Structure 1
Amino acid sequence: MTRIQTLLALFALLSPALGAHAAPYLPASGTQVIETLPRRGDPVQQELRRLRAQLNAQPNDVALATTLARRYIALGRSETDPRYLGYAQAALAPWWKQAAPPPPVRLLRATLLQSTHQFPAALADLQGVLAVEPQNAQAWLTLATVQTVQGDYANATSSCARLSSLANELITVTCVAQVGGITGRALQSEQLLALTLERSGTTTPELQVWVLTLLAEMAQRRDAVTLAETRFQRALALDPHDSYLLGAYCDFLLDQKRPSRVEALLADQTRIDALLLRRALALQQQGKTAPLAADVAELAARFDAAMLRGDTVHQREQARFELLRRDTARALTLARKNWAVQKEPADMRIYLEAALQARDREAAQPVIDWIAKHKTEDAAAAKLVRQLGESA
């Protein structure tokens, strides 16, 4: 998952029944906690039940359906629980298959579609919304998001520019900076975004976390380690449970060879596949073979389940997993497939790492050419490109 996208996978629970390719998961003992369900007394859950009951009575009420869907999407992000995205789609069921549903529904459908990398369908919905509502700031931001992920930087920049009169300065600059940060204007984009954040005054914690995480990653890509650490810590102070932030910070820590910190951070976060993967990488760095074997077995079962469902959203993470267990050919295949869909710095890096481990510089040429064409500045990627040249 990526901060540029702020994406969420649109799937129900990982099925415990993994068919012929993996055995059902069995808890070690009757005391092991498998899932913590939301408490019925939780005010958020009570409000959701109230809205669901209203929608059941009035299933064609667009305002009510979109309100409930937004609540589910927000909760899915905060809890990193993809079930809520399924609930959001269910709330929109009366309009889901319509070619041109009402703009609020269509925008939510685009949000959910891009979560599962159905980018052409999401783009069509976003363009449809903007044809009717050209002043819709959320639609322009989501469009810029999808265009950036796909590497359509010129159109992403144009979409960001449309936000200047529709959204606050921090959102607009963040949109532009995330494009500039990977297209030859890294330092200038980072400096402008940092300045805009500092002078933005009071803003929502969610927006601050998004911006600080992006700034931390920008500093990390140019090897400004101390600055990156400071920004990650500022973001964590605002939201220590943000799953993307935790993953990004753990990647930074793994690069800095601080695996014990990763293990401590993720002790109670292993229900999230991407975070379980990072804990496994931390265990590998520390040579903890027994717990590593358990995490590898669990990850293998989860990725097998995803493949049985036809889920291709997590190919980047799965490529990293295959490198962890030294299946370089499989890792390179997955990295190549992932690159065909999305082109963020992390996608570049896993492709280069897989090609290096496979000793196949020719396979990495599309990414090497992409980096040169767009003048992408990334110290880790540059090092991998040098190593690939040396290996050749």
Structure 2
Amino acid sequence: MQHLRVARDCTKIEQQTLSRVVGPKMRLIGSRGVNIAPMIAYRRPPTHGDGMETKRAATFACIKRSETCFALILVVSLYGVSAAFAAPFTPTSDNQVLERLPLSAAPYDRELRTLRAALDGAPGTLDIALKLAQFYIRIGKIESDPRYYGYAQGVLQPWWNEPEASAKVRLLRAMIRQNRHDFSGALQDLAQVLSVEPGNIQAWLTRAVIMKLQANYDEARLSCLPLAESRDPLLAVTCLSDVNSLNGRAQASYEFLQDVLREREGASQDQRVWSLTVLAEISMRMGRNDDAERFFKEALGVGRQSAYLLAAYADFLLDQGRAAEVADLLADKTSVDSLLLRLALAKQQLAAADLPEFVAKIGDRFAASKMRGENFHQGDEARFALRLQGRAEDALRLAKANWAAQREPQDARVLLETSLAVRDRAAAQPVLDFLARTRLEHVRLKSLAAEIERLP
């Protein structure tokens, strides 16, 4: 956050807001009157004597609602950051058939055709290009289909490398870079966006997701705070509850989010799905399977089912030995790599005769990904190597590389399981240190860690 420019036009009233944001009483009242103080638990980072605390405070004090960021179209899908990235492609002629879009794209076909026709009729028009790129990203996130990120970058290619790219271009570029796991590049773009638009809610939300993914919980929490200025305070509450549930405050986060969600009956479908998914995952980590089941099913019944939600629920079912339900849930969703993997794991539990066919399909997809120079789903590949191929040493190598890039609970689990498979306690030490430092409440990780500790 050091690189964020402090707004110079803060009034005295705005400066006084500092005491509400990071003051001694730790009070923060969002624009809709929801007190999110219980979820802040702000731990002050070191200042290095450069006035950073004042800069942070002034940045948050001057936050206003942004009218320039597009609608929060990706609330739930922002969590789906594991999809591989497809490189941009420019056709050689207008008549060239690029690819037959999957059936899952059918609900979006009319709007896509309209936007593409508009851009064809006015090539080089940034506003139209932004709308089309936004729509591609939306589909890509909902479907966990990396091709749409490639399409989005292709649309933005005329402005992609501009040194003075607009905030709107930088924001979309950050989201595309996030998808390809270029987190450093994404954060640089977000910093530039927030330096000129400190109230850009989508930029803060994207930053919060990246910081949480990297287990930088203090910065994730700080990025959640400005979301209190959005039209729906449930956005900030969900963001803060999600972050705090990962570092020693699971019960408080669960109760707070559940209470606010109950009061926000008018929340959008996407927002409700995200909030319900967070509640399901908190419940699952705490070992409350009945609650997790209830929240997962409620989320699945609201609006369109995202690949992230389906994968999370499938993992929950697999852990309980409910493979037949996973097979039914994912039977027609094999176009998504992460869902194909979980379907194969279900077939393994069921001793299905066609398991080799699914193992071969997954292997082909990972091979194709490598040919494109992609290595952004190493956690799933480690799981595939360990569970479906019996290649424990290779699985551990992949799990280590994955942990170096991202540090969510599922990533910790993969590294612990692969370390156990080769009986390598030292390989698991980074996760053991992580669990001690973050105070993550997770019954399965606690059990795995105990097994690791018993290794000679």
- SS of corresponding position for 2:145: coil
2-side partners of 1:263 and 1:48: how far apart?
A: 32
2:337 matched to 1:337? no
What number of residue pairs does the alignment pair up?
A: 369
| Matched-pair contact (CA < 8 Å) for 2:204–2:223 | yes
Deviation of the 1:62 alpha carbon: 2.0
**Aligned mate of 2:269, from 205, 213, 221:** 205
CA contact (8 A) 2:133 2:156 kept: yes
1:152 counterpart (193, 216, 223): 216
Q: Quote the residue 1:320 is aligned against.
A: 383
Aligned to 1:355: 419
For residue 357 of structure 2, the aligned residue among 285, 288, 294 is 294
Q: How does 1:1-392 map to 2 (within 5 A)?
A: 5-7=79-81, 8-11=83-86, 37=102, 44-239=108-303, 241-288=305-352, 290-324=353-387, 325-392=389-456
- Unaligned residue ranges in structure 1 (runs of 5+): 14-33
Q: 5+ unaligned residues in a row in structure 2: which ranges? A: 1-75, 89-98
The answer as to whether partners of 2:78 and 2:141 remain within 8 angstroms in 1 is no
Check 1:227–1:81 CA distance in 2 against 1; reply closer, same or farther (3 A cut): same
Could you tell me the TM-score, scaled by structure 1's length? Answer: 0.89
> Which residue does 2:95 correspond to in 1?
none
Give 1:236 shift.
1.1
1:57 CA displacement: 3.4
Q: How far off is 1:37 after superposition?
A: 4.4
1: CA distance, partners of 2:374 / 2:439: 32
Identity of aligned residues (%): 42
Contact kept in structure 1, 2:80 and 2:144, CA below 8 Å: no
Q: Please report how far the alpha carbon of residue 43 of structure 1 lies from its aligned counterpart in structure 2 after TM superposition.
A: 7.3
1:227-260 per-residue CA deviation (whole Å, 9 max, x = no partner) reads 0000111011114632111110110001111111
1:262-288: CA deviation from partner (whole Å, max 9, x where unpaired): 111111111111111111111111222
Contact 2:77 2:306 in 1 (8 A): no
Deviation, structure 1 residue 213: 1.1
Give how far 1:83 is off.
2.0
* Structure with max Cα Rg: 2
- For the residues of structure 1 that align with 2:231 and 2:405, how far apart are their CA atoms? 29
Q: Is the 8 A contact 1:355 1:364 kept in 2?
A: yes
Q: What CA RMSD, in Å, does the superposition of the two structures yield over aligned residues?
A: 2.1
Residue 3 (structure 1) shift: 6.2
- Aligned partners of 2:77 and 2:142 also within 8 Å: no
Partners of 1:157 and 1:80 in 2: how far apart? Answer: 26
Cα 1:322–1:148, aligned 2, differ >3 Å: closer, same or farther?
A: same
Deviates most, 382-391 or 235-244: 235-244
Instruction: Give the drift of 1:58.
Output: 2.7
Q: Whole-Å Cα distance in 2 between the matches of residues 167 and 239 of structure 1? A: 20
The offset of 1:4, in angstroms, is 6.1
Give, in angstroms, the shift of residue 391 of structure 1: 2.7
Q: Residue 391 of structure 1: SS of its match in structure 2?
A: coil
- Displacement of 1:186 in angstroms is 1.0
Q: Residues 159 and 165 of structure 2 are in contact (CA less than 8 Å); yes or no, is this contact kept in structure 1?
A: yes
Quick one: distance in 2 between partners of 1:198 and 1:102? 39
